[in-house]
A and B are shown apart, each in its own frame.
Chain A
Amino acid sequence: MEGETEERDYKVLVVGEGGCGKTSYINQYVNHIFSKAYKATVGVDFALKQVQWENTRVRLALWDIAGQERFNHMTRVYYKGAHGAMVVFDVTKDKTFQAVPRWKKDIDSNLDNIPTVLVANKCDLLDNPLDTETMEKFCAQHGFIGWYETSAKENIRVEDCGTFLLEHLVKRDRELNPGKYTNTEKTVSLTQASDPRLAAKTCNNSC
C-alpha cells in the first residue's frame, strides 16, 4: 500500500438556526471558492473541500440547509447518508443557542450517532470568550464531540474546527470498517446522487 493514495468521501451537514452564519462559515472553510463559483442558474448543492490526511485524500462535502431551515422536511432530505455534522449558533444571539439541542436531537433521530461538533460562530463580536466549563458540560450533556469558538468573518479557528471533525470522521470510519480502510475501494459515493461534473468542477477550483 506504500506510496498509494487512498480516497475518502465524507458528507458533513452544517445545520443551525437561520442567520447564524452557516453559509459564510462554509464559504470561509472552502476558501471562498463557493461564493465566487456560485451561479444561481446552476445551483451548488454542496461545497467540496479537499484535505490530505496522512496518506489519504479526503473530500469533505459540506451540505448546507441555508434558507430552508423553516421547512421541517428539508432536514430529512439533507440528512440522508451523512457521516458527520456541525451545529452552528451565533454567540450574539441567544435564540440560536437555545435551538442547538433541537438541532442535535434532530440529527440523532435521523442518523446513527455521527460525530457532531458545536460551532460557536461570530466570536469576533464577543468581548470575552465563552465559559469553558459551562460549554463542556453542555457538550457532554448533548453528546457533542467538542466545541469551537469561531469567526467565519475573521477566519478564526475555522480550519481547526474542520480538522478536529475530520479526525473523528476518520477514526469512526476505521472503527466501523476496519478491513475496508486500507482498501482503495470507495465506501461511499458522494457524486452518485448529484451531477458528477459539478462536483468535479468545484473540486478543481479548490485545488
Chain B
Amino acid sequence: MAELQAGFPDIMRAAASNRTRSNTIGARSPPPPPVVDRSDWAARVGTKHKEIAALKERIYPLERACSFAQEYYTDEGSIKAEKRSELLKEDVIMQLIMQHLEMEGLRQSRKELEKVSGRRYVQRPELTDSRLVTLMRLAVKDTEMVWDHTMDDKFTTEETNANDLREHLLSLDLHEDKTQSEDTNIWNESQFNFVPEEKDPNSLKAASLNHIILRMTDEETKSNLRDIVLYTYQTFVTPEKLLQKLIERYQVPAKDPTLSKRDEEWRVQKARIRIQVIQVIKSWITRHFDDFKNSDKLMTALEEFIKMVEIESKNLAQQLTRALDLHTGVKTIEDSSRKDKIPEPKIPWKTIFSPALTIWDCDDEEIARQLSIIEFNIFSSIQASELMNQAWTKPRLRHKAPNIIKMTERSNLISNWVAFTILSQEKIRKRVKAVTRFIRIAEFTAGMNNFSTAMAIVSGGLGCTAVHKLKYTWAELPNQQSRTFQELSEKLTDPLAYRNMLNAADQPCIPFLGLFLRDLVYIDENPDTIDDLINVNKRKQIYDIIEKVTRYQNQGYSFVEIPQIAQMLDSKRMYIVTEEEMNRMSDRCEPRNADRNSIQ
C-alpha cells in the first residue's frame, strides 16, 4: 500500500523557500515539459477502477492498525509490565490456531501443524467455539475504540483524544493510571455555570456538564433537555462519565445551600431528586440500550448502581431492573396496516414464477411499491448515533454510520440501474418506452412520499449526462410524460420547493437523506463550547434533525412484499457500470451530430 501514496508526500514534505504567497499559473509559465507526470497516478487508477479505490479504502483500517501498533510498541513503558509478558506467547497462539482448525473439522491440517511446529495440541473439549475467532472479534471491538480516540478531527482536541484513549486503555487493563483527572463533584459546583438562551431564559444556551445534569434531573424542567442530552451526549462526554455524574446527583448530601435545612423538607427534596435521576437513567436504558450493550464497563457500573439503590429503595431499583429486562433493543415500527387498507398487489400472473421475469412484465406502481419497501427498510435502520460527528464523510469513522452509507450506495445504485436500463435499449422506440416507464415509476414513488427513491430515479438516473444527451429519445417522448418529468425534477431538485413538499407530506414518508446530512454539516460549524461551557444550543439543533429522521422512521408502508419482484430490485442484482461506459453507450445509441434518420 505504501507505493499507492507515494506521489503525495513528496509535495507535502518538499519545502519551498522564500515563498509567502501562493503563485498562480499565468501566460508566462513555460509549457509543461513532456515528462510523464506520475504524481497522481494513484488517484487516476482509483477513478478508473472503482474496485481498487474501494479495496484501498477497506484496507485502510489494517494499515492504520499496523502503524498504530508500531507507534505504541516503541513506547513500552505505557504497557503494563506483566501484560507485556502475557502477550503474544507463541505457544498460546499455536494452540489457538490448532483449536480453530479442530473446530472447523480440519483435523488433518491440525495434525500437520503439530508435526511441523513440534508442539502438542492440548485438547479442550469444554470449548464449544473457536477461541481464535472469538478473541479476534473482541480485539476488533477494542481496537476500533482505540482508533476512534486517535483520530484527528475537528470535534475533539488532541487533549481530549489523549484522555479518552487513556481511559479506554485503562478499561482494557493495559494502561497504568498515573493521573487522576480533576473533576468537581456536582454538589460542589457553583450554580451559575450556565448561559441562558436570549429569547427563552428558561432554556440553556451553554452550560457546564454539572449544570446540565442538574437541570435534566430537575422536576421543573419542561424543555426537552433530557432527550437532547440522551441523544447527543456522546459529542461532549463519555457514557461512563455521564452515568457517574447522574450517580453523584443521586447521592444527595445532608447539607447543601440549595437544599432545605429542615429535616423533613430535606427528605422530600432528596426523594424527588432521586426519582428524577432514576427516570433519566430509565429512559436512557429504554431508548438507548445500545450504549449499554456496547460497553461492559458502563453495564457493570449500572449494575453496581442498581445494587446500591436497592439497599435503600427496592421500588426504585426495580424500575431500572425492569427496564433492563424488558429491553429488546428493537424499534417498534408502527403497523400502518391497521389504519390503511392494504392495497391489492398487482402481480403479473403469467410470468411471476418464470425465471425469465423482467421488470417490463410488472406494473409500474407495483415496482414503485417494492422499491419503497426496500428503501424504507434501509432508512428505518439508521440509528441516531450515525448522524453524529459527520461520521459518514470520514473514512475512519465510516464504520459508525453503516446505514447512512447503505442509503447513499442504494441511491447511487438505483441511479445507475435506471440509466443503464435505458441505455441498453438499442432501438429508439424501446428507449422512449423505458424513459416513459421510469418517469411513471418515479411519479408513483413520489406519490407514495418516497422522495428518496424518486430523487435517485429523476436526478440520478434520468438526469445523468449519458441519458440527458439522448436528444432524439427525449424529443419523441409523449408531451404529457415530458411535462411530468419537468415538474418532478423541479420539485425534487430545487431545495426550497423540495422542503415545502416534504413539510406538506403525510407519513409514511422517506425523505431524501442528503438534505438532513447537509443540515448537520452546517450545524457543526458552530463551536462545541462557548467560553469553556458546553454549547447546549448546538446539541439542540442536532437533536432537532435526529428527531425529524426518527419521526419518519416510525411508520412504514403497508404494501405486501412480492419476493419475485423485490429480488429483481435487490442491490445485488443491479448492475454497476462506470460513467465512461455509460457515455460510450449513449454515443452508440445516438452518435454525436447524427441525424434522426440514421438512428434506429
Q: Chain A residues in contact with chain B, CB under 8 A?
A: 17-19, 23-24, 27, 34-35, 38, 40-41, 43-45, 64-74, 76-77, 91-92, 94-95, 97-102, 105, 109-110, 126, 128-141, 144-149, 157, 160, 164, 193-195, 198
- Asked whether, in the complex, the Cβ of A194 is within 8 Å of the Cβ of B10, the reply is no
Chain B residues, CB < 8 A from A44: 522
- Find residues 541-593 in chain B having any chain A CB closer than 8 Å to their own CB: 541, 544-545
Chain A residues, CB < 8 A from B456: 73
- Asked whether, in the complex, the Cβ of A98 is within 8 Å of the Cβ of B394, the reply is no
Instruction: Report how far A93 CA is from B155 CA in the complex, Å.
Output: 16
Instruction: Report how far A45 CA is from B464 CA in the complex, Å.
Output: 22
Within 8 Å by CB of A134, from B10, B519, B521, B525, lies B10
- Asked whether, in the complex, the Cβ of A77 is within 8 Å of the Cβ of B545, the reply is no
Chain B residues, CB < 8 A from A69: 393
Chain B residues, CB < 8 A from A77: 459, 493
Within 8 Å by CB of B514, from A27, A34, A71, A140, lies A71
Report B151 CB to chain A, min CB distance, Å: 11
The stretch among B39-47, B194-202, B330-338 that forms the contact with chain A is B39-47
Instruction: Report how far A193 CA is from B459 CA in the complex, Å.
Output: 16
Chain B residues, CB < 8 A from A76: 459-460, 463-465
Quick one: closest A residue to B545, CB to CB?
Answer: A40
Q: Chain B residues in contact with chain A, CB under 8 A?
A: 5, 8-16, 19, 21-25, 29, 32, 37, 39-40, 42-44, 46-47, 152-154, 390, 392-395, 405, 408-409, 411-412, 415, 455-456, 459-460, 463-465, 493-496, 499, 514-515, 517-526, 541, 544-545
Q: Identify the interface centre among A74, A137, A144: most chain B CB within 10 Å of its CB.
A: A74
Chain B residues, CB < 8 A from A132: 16, 19, 22-23
- Asked whether, in the complex, the Cβ of B12 is within 8 Å of the Cβ of A130, the reply is yes
Chain A residues, CB < 8 A from B520: 67
Instruction: Report how far A130 CA is from B12 CA in the complex, Å.
Output: 5
Within 8 Å by CB of A126, from B12, B415, B463, B494, lies B12
- Asked whether, in the complex, the Cβ of A140 is within 8 Å of the Cβ of B32, the reply is yes
Instruction: Report how far A128 CA is from B409 CA in the complex, Å.
Output: 38
- Asked whether, in the complex, the Cβ of A136 is within 8 Å of the Cβ of B519, the reply is no
Q: List 26 A-B contacts (CB under 8 A).
A: A18-B390, A19-B390, A67-B517, A67-B521, A72-B415, A73-B455, A74-B514, A76-B460, A77-B459, A94-B5, A94-B8, A98-B8, A100-B40, A100-B43, A101-B40, A102-B43, A126-B12, A129-B19, A130-B14, A134-B14, A138-B11, A144-B25, A145-B24, A146-B23, A160-B21, A194-B495
- Asked whether, in the complex, the Cβ of B43 is within 8 Å of the Cβ of A136, the reply is no
Quick one: closest B residue to A153, CB to CB?
Answer: B154
Report B395 CB to chain A, min CB distance, Å: 7
Quick one: closest B residue to A106, CB to CB?
Answer: B579
* Additional A-B contacts beyond A66-B518, A76-B465 (20; CB < 8 A): A23-B522, A35-B526, A64-B518, A67-B390, A67-B521, A68-B517, A70-B392, A71-B514, A73-B411, A73-B455, A98-B42, A130-B11, A137-B32, A138-B39, A145-B24, A146-B23, A160-B21, A193-B496, A194-B494, A194-B495
Within 8 Å by CB of A128, from B15, B37, B44, lies B15
Within 8 Å by CB of A136, from B21, B25, B46, B408, lies B25
- Asked whether, in the complex, the Cβ of A98 is within 8 Å of the Cβ of B40, the reply is yes
- Asked whether, in the complex, the Cβ of A24 is within 8 Å of the Cβ of B514, the reply is no
- Asked whether, in the complex, the Cβ of B495 is within 8 Å of the Cβ of A38, the reply is no
Quick one: closest B residue to A133, CB to CB?
Answer: B16
Instruction: Report how far A98 CA is from B19 CA in the complex, Å.
Output: 24
Give the total number of A-B pairs whose CB atoms are below 8 A apart: 185
- Asked whether, in the complex, the Cβ of A68 is within 8 Å of the Cβ of B518, the reply is yes
Report B397 CB to chain A, min CB distance, Å: 9
Q: Identify the interface centre among B411, B520, B521, B526: most chain A CB within 10 Å of its CB.
A: B521
Report B542 CB to chain A, min CB distance, Å: 9
Report B396 CB to chain A, min CB distance, Å: 10
Report A10 CB to chain B, min CB distance, Å: 19
Chain B residues, CB < 8 A from A138: 11, 37, 39-40
- Asked whether, in the complex, the Cβ of A148 is within 8 Å of the Cβ of B22, the reply is yes
Quick one: closest B residue to A161, CB to CB?
Answer: B22
Within 8 Å by CB of B12, from A91, A102, A110, A157, lies A91
Instruction: Report how far A27 CA is from B14 CA in the complex, Å.
Output: 30
- Asked whether, in the complex, the Cβ of B24 is within 8 Å of the Cβ of A141, the reply is no
- Asked whether, in the complex, the Cβ of B15 is within 8 Å of the Cβ of A129, the reply is yes
Chain B residues, CB < 8 A from A109: 465
- Asked whether, in the complex, the Cβ of B464 is within 8 Å of the Cβ of A73, the reply is yes
Report B40 CB to chain A, min CB distance, Å: 6
- Asked whether, in the complex, the Cβ of A147 is within 8 Å of the Cβ of B24, the reply is yes
- Asked whether, in the complex, the Cβ of B514 is within 8 Å of the Cβ of A131, the reply is no
Report B529 CB to chain A, min CB distance, Å: 15
Quick one: closest B residue to A144, CB to CB?
Answer: B25
Instruction: Report how far A38 CA is from B523 CA in the complex, Å.
Output: 8
Instruction: Report how far A139 CA is from B24 CA in the complex, Å.
Output: 9
- Asked whether, in the complex, the Cβ of B514 is within 8 Å of the Cβ of A146, the reply is no
Chain B residues, CB < 8 A from A194: 494-496
Chain B residues, CB < 8 A from A149: 22
- Asked whether, in the complex, the Cβ of B25 is within 8 Å of the Cβ of A140, the reply is yes
Instruction: Report how far A11 CA is from B465 CA in the complex, Å.
Output: 21
Instruction: Report how far A34 CA is from B55 CA in the complex, Å.
Output: 38
- Asked whether, in the complex, the Cβ of B541 is within 8 Å of the Cβ of A40, the reply is yes
Known: A73-B463, A145-B25. A23 touches B37 (CB 8 A): no
- Asked whether, in the complex, the Cβ of B13 is within 8 Å of the Cβ of A128, the reply is yes
Quick one: closest B residue to A99, CB to CB?
Answer: B43
- Asked whether, in the complex, the Cβ of B494 is within 8 Å of the Cβ of A110, the reply is no
Q: Identify the interface centre among B409, B455, B459: most chain A CB within 10 Å of its CB.
A: B459
